[in-house]
Amino acid sequence: MLVGVFIASMGYIAPASAQSENGEDGISAVPAITSPSVVRKSLIHTARVMVTIIPVSGVSVASPNYAANKLNILTGLGYQTVPNDRTQNPAAWHNIAYLEWGDMVLSSSNAFKVWRGRANPSGTFSNERGNRIKWTVTALSTNGIPFSANQVEFEIKSSFEGLNLIGRISRNSATGADIPYQFILQGHNYGSDSVPNTGDDIWYNSDTAPISPSALVHELRYMGVSSSFSAANLADIGADRNALTAEGFFVGCRYTLKAADNTIIGSAEVVLDTRPRASIRKVGDGYEIGITGQPEFGYNVVYAFRPSGPWENFLSGTGSSVPGVYTPGSVFTNVFSTSDVAFFRLRQTAAP
């Protein structure tokens, strides 16, 4: 049996607060909302929906780059080219394969500027208020039968209880008001012919003409529920970091579409964590090790022939292609040419 575990030690201080929210980005229901007069098929059959979740790093709603970031996220969900270098542009599209702790730290004070977990950023980031995970989602009917935003439920599940949240995407989690189709929650109805990109298609994506979330669509794009920790000072950032990098921390999102009889007609789930993880598999006479997790710290790979140890470091060039210290995101093959090694660990070389 191959076991990938890790060793790390750190103190723990409770973070200031953490929350997940739905609807803070857009407008809520207003009396002017109307339902569209489109042809609605008789739902003899039930829609079957393909759901795709793309976690992205979003800026604060208080960011001077919020509008541009929102535009890039919704444009990116439409598989169009958008700015994607966030080292130069705070508004850039940045989808997440693994979670960096700084992507979930938001400043709770306009006087305290933060970017990716760093206080008092400079240059183009000097007025930023931090980052949050946006659980963006697309939904596509695969059999031509439409569905509505009201049918899409979400669940944020985390090892940190304050992040947990359940609801539906068309309901503001803070106020309980309906969230209509608008720019952040876009719907595309193919019209009476149920064929996309013909003359009778209708898009519901306007903030000036919001449409009831009960309107039927064949495609849906949503900027998503958000998850973040808050910080008002450097001590809060340290506490947030410790919580986000604690052993066992995870946060995930599930979107589910249900028919009128509660039959599930589409769902998807993504789970992220920030601690380093070792993915190990046998390759010929050796092993392949892939690491995900915090990209900013180095790790030693250590091995043992039995769970009780002794644990030894891999040394570059000594029966192994693993360097003495490396960072997550790398993959090494044929790391040890023997079938006797059964246990591996990661040992962090520097404290966060």
Domain boundary assignment for the chain: 10-272, 277-348
Q: Which helix (H) or strand (E) holds 237?
A: helix 234-244
**In the block, residue with structure tokens 């380093």:** 276
Q: Is the dihedral of CA 197, 201, 207, 208 positive or negative?
A: positive
Amino acid 174: pLDDT = 87
Question: Could you give the CA distance from residue 49 to residue 41 in angstroms, rounded to a whole number?
Answer: 16
Task: Catalogue the E-assigned strands of 31-189.
Answer: 49-59, 105-107, 114-115, 118-119, 131-141, 147-148, 152-158, 165-168, 185-189
Looking at residue 136, its pLDDT comes to 94
Residue 31 CA to residue 40 CA, distance in Å, equals: 23
pLDDT tens for the chain, 352 residues long, are: 222 222 222 334 556 678 888 887 766 654 444 444 333 333 344 669 999 999 999 999 999 999 999 999 999 998 888 888 999 999 999 988 778 889 999 999 999 999 999 999 999 999 999 999 999 999 999 999 999 999 999 999 999 999 999 999 999 988 889 999 999 999 999 998 889 999 899 999 999 999 999 999 999 999 999 999 999 999 999 999 889 888 778 899 999 999 989 999 999 998 887 766 666 666 665 566 666 555 555 666 666 666 676 776 655 444 445 555 555 555 555 555 444 555 666 665 554 4
pLDDT at 224: 93
Long-range contacts of 96-99 (CB under 8 A, 24+ apart): 96/55, 96/56, 96/57, 96/133, 96/272, 97/292, 98/272, 98/273, 98/274, 98/292, 98/293, 98/328, 99/55, 99/133, 99/244, 99/251, 99/272, 99/273, 99/274
In angstroms, the first-to-last Cα distance of the chain is 30
pLDDT in tens, 207-237: 999 999 999 999 999 999 999 999 999 999 9
pLDDT of residue 46: 61
pLDDT of residue 99: 81
- Give the pLDDT score at 313: 63
pTM score of the predicted model = 0.76
The answer to whether the beta carbons of residues 231 and 107 sit under 8 Å apart is: yes
Residue 326 tokens, joined: 């490396």
Apex 74 CA angle, 72 and 77, nearest 5: 105
